[in-house]
C-alpha cells in the first residue's frame, strides 16, 4: 500500500510519548504505529519504538508532523 499519511512521535504528550504514531488523514486521531500492521516494520534494538517504521514511511513520502 502506498498511501501517504502523517506521523509524529509524541501526540499530546500522552502515555505513549516517544512512540511513533500514525494517521492516514489529517482529521483522523493519532494512533500508535502498531495499530497499522500493513505499515509497521520490526524495531531495531536500542532505537525508539517505531523508528524502523518511521524510516520506511519517510521513504514512501509520508509527512512528519512535529
pLDDT for res 37: 95
Do 36 and 7 meet the contact criterion of CB atoms below 8 Å apart?
A: no
pTM: 0.83
Q: Which residue has the cell 509524529?
A: 8
Q: pLDDT 10s per residue in the chain (66 long)?
A: 456 899 999 766 555 568 999 999 999 999 999 999 999 999 988 888 899 999 999 999 999 998
Q: Where are the domains of the chain?
A: 6-64
3-state secondary structure of 33: helix
Distance of alpha carbon 7 from alpha carbon 21, whole angstroms: 6
User: Cell for 40?
Assistant: 509497521
Amino acid at each position: 500500500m502506498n498511501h501517504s499519511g502523517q506521523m509524529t512521535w509524541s501526540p499530546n504528550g500522552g502515555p505513549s510519548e516517544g512512540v511513533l504514531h500514525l494517521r492516514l488523514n489529517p482529521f483522523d486521531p493519532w494512533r500508535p504505529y502498531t495499530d497499522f500492521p500493513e505499515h509497521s516494520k520490526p524495531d531495531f534494538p536500542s532505537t525508539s519504538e517505531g523508528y524502523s517504521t518511521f524510516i520506511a514511511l519517510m521513504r514512501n513520502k509520508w509527512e512528519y508532523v512535529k
